[in-house]
Structure 1
């Protein structure tokens, strides 16, 4: 069911419940008013009956004639009875009902008593007189009141059905108007495909939830566009990196098979094939490692890592390389509590991420000294790695973390463009962020920020 129809039905249901409560109250209050009015009429008839039969000798002729005239205006199906103190019917010879003594005593006790008998309304009054104490009972059928209630019921039912119909139609109209922006978004979204992800959904000016939905969808489209661009770039770079050694292997085999070769030439060809095959293995192993880095970190596979100690270990590692390479570690703003220099994570993965950055720093600076600065603040631990190498062009700074991407000025150096992508995945896994700033021909600085230990879990 569409939202428009569901909203209309819900709106109609709510309105129906409200109308039902209101109409039921109207009917019950009207029924109570009609019943009370009829009992007041019965009470007046009882008083008139008492005055006609009991006060004739005490009233003036003119007054009695007026009372007698009103007495003749009877209610349909009216029946009257008068009982004396001995519970005997008096004055009115023709009686419809013989009322029990218990009813008469109840009327004497309450003075005015209402009751219902055989679908007729009845009222009894206690009427003391100089001739004695009497009980007057009048019964009648409230035919006019019943007809009024039936007429009112039909009016309320018809009004209820008409109101529900109008409410549903108005709900359909209102829901259509309210959902028109969503329809517009749907029409625009239907036009967006993988080949035109640059399109965006038009946002309104109301600053409401629908505009927020359009803004979020545009943000999603932007991320998808970037992801598709990265995917296309990855496919292009991967095909290039894999095609080069494969082309070399195929070419070497074809040339070798054209003529008979000496054992030395076969050995040379096999050596070339081995070298190119190793390149393929390095690339595929690197891609496989990228997929494995996406594992989740938990308390079980993580530990506290002292960042200053890790940096000293890395500096010692590069110092023992051949030729020795110098990593200058600088500390600033160190806390009194050394435990604050710890981050929680996987030590081998963190070391691998930092080694990839350091390896690139030495490689692209022709093995010049690299500086590493570690600083602490209440918000976390900052680490910057700087070199004096060839630098990175501004257009390439956002692409160097893509798998198999290599900047134009990096093709003369050995590598496959996997290390920085792996580093970014490892750091994001540890809730750390990494940015890069570079000046072409002067050097590059990688800035890493680690949250305090425990905040990443």
Structure 2
């Protein structure tokens, strides 16, 4: 059973109980009220009957006739009986009634007035003292009209309750469709997902807070799932991409070495080459662990950023004969002290400077350390080919290369490697256009001296 149908059923059950209780309370309350009213009316008729039968010798004929007319309008004399002190019928036209017992007559005398009812009649007794003696006046009223009225009320309550339940069922179904329409739209979106669109976030604008929370939770879950799959994919990509060269070199060297006997000097050369290939392979593995997200622990220590920058500049000048101008515009020297894994941070900056050198054909590069709203920042400006606007969002992805970089050798991992390392250090990296040509990379370092991994 669908949840909205189950909720409709629950609504019907709950409202059925509520309607049943409310109808019962209404019926019982109205019954008691009307019963009390009938008994009060019957008590008034008993007084009128007592005056008619027992006060005739004390009033004028016209007054007696007036009392008679009032009595006949309210009660039949066949429903009146007057008993004397010996419990004998004194007057009244009521036929013998087994419900009127001496016990009831005595109770009336003791309580001045009393009454009871059965399924057919209401009874009322009045203890009346007259100059003729002591009497008990008993009147009765048929319950047929009262029972019909109560039965009509009961039918009305039953019909209203049934109609109410039908309306509640229809209304709950209608509200269920409205309430679950956003859920149905979400389900429809999920059903359309395939391998290519699986990680697309759900979108639902016409909804309420709980559905938005559900969508946000689902999107966060999918995003984390996508990250985990991306880690696996990255690792496979990097293994196939980075390990092939050193492994091929090792196998080729071993095959060549096996073709004939070698001198000790040649074997030492072969071992030296194999060692270098192994070191290259180990470095590639370390980089793959970082890029794939598999490596989680790093050595964060207090480090001077300017010292790392000078190491990067020295490396670029030594190996690439780069033309680099460094400016340090930091007044608060304490900002230069950061918590970082210096080797990783140096690797990332080497990748950025290496890209600037390569894609600018070794034109001058500007590196500046400065303060931005009491936050340490670093910029690297080159005069190279720049990054196209349509590539700006994708350029940080693994193995992605800009459309204007086809004439330059590269694997598309330098910038993605730097981006991951900066993310590990909680460093914000942004890319801007360096007008009239070139690229500006801006790094903003966290104010906190503690990096959480």
Check whether TM > 0.5.
yes
1:450 aligns with 2:446: yes
> Alignment partner of 1:436: what SS?
strand
1:372 — aligned with what?
368
CA distance in 1 between partners of 2:394 and 2:115 (Å): 94
CA contact (8 A) 1:391 1:438 kept: no
1:426 — aligned with what?
424
Q: CA RMSD, aligned part only?
A: 5.2
CA distance in 2 between partners of 1:129 and 1:135 (Å): 11
1:437 — aligned with what?
432
CA distance in 1 between partners of 2:54 and 2:10 (Å): 65
1:73 aligns with 2:76: yes
2:5 — aligned with what?
5
Do the aligned partners of residues 8 and 295 (structure 1) sit closer, same or farther apart at CA in structure 2, a change above 3 Å counting? farther
Shift of 1:239: 1.8
Residues 15-60 of structure 1: per-residue CA shift (max 9 Å, x gap): 4355335423431332133213311331233123202321222244
Equivalent pairs counted in the alignment come to: 426
**Aligned ranges 1:190-269 → 2 under 5 Å:** 190-197=191-198, 206=206, 235-257=236-258, 259-263=259-263, 264-269=265-270
1:360 — aligned with what?
351
2:287 — aligned with what?
286
CA contact (8 A) 2:250 2:274 kept: yes
Bigger drift between 54-63 and 323-332 goes to 323-332
CA distance in 2 between partners of 1:316 and 1:361 (Å): 14
1:381 aligns with 2:375: yes
CA distance in 1 between partners of 2:381 and 2:252 (Å): 39
CA distance in 2 between partners of 1:455 and 1:125 (Å): 98
> Alignment partner of 1:98: what SS?
helix
Do the aligned partners of residues 406 and 139 (structure 1) sit closer, same or farther apart at CA in structure 2, a change above 3 Å counting? same
Unaligned 5+ runs, structure 1: 108-112
1:331 aligns with 2:329: yes
CA distance in 1 between partners of 2:140 and 2:312 (Å): 116
> Alignment partner of 2:56: what SS?
coil
Bigger drift between 287-296 and 271-280 goes to 287-296
Do the aligned partners of residues 417 and 64 (structure 1) sit closer, same or farther apart at CA in structure 2, a change above 3 Å counting? closer
CA contact (8 A) 2:353 2:380 kept: no
Shift of 1:2: 1.9
1:98 aligns with 2:94: no
Shift of 1:98: 3.1
CA distance in 2 between partners of 1:455 and 1:198 (Å): 29
> Alignment partner of 1:450: what SS?
coil
Residues 364-390 of structure 1: per-residue CA shift (max 9 Å, x gap): 45597762323142xx62412314475
CA contact (8 A) 2:83 2:90 kept: yes
CA distance in 2 between partners of 1:169 and 1:144 (Å): 37
Shift of 1:423: 1.5
Do the aligned partners of residues 288 and 413 (structure 1) sit closer, same or farther apart at CA in structure 2, a change above 3 Å counting? closer
CA contact (8 A) 1:79 1:96 kept: no
Of structures 1 and 2, the one scoring higher in RCO (CA 8 A, sep 6+) is: 1
> Alignment partner of 1:277: what SS?
helix
2:150 — aligned with what?
149
Unaligned 5+ runs, structure 2: none
CA contact (8 A) 2:352 2:418 kept: no
TM-score, structure 2 length as denominator? 0.69
CA distance in 1 between partners of 2:167 and 2:414 (Å): 71
CA distance in 2 between partners of 1:357 and 1:44 (Å): 106
CA distance in 2 between partners of 1:101 and 1:447 (Å): 108
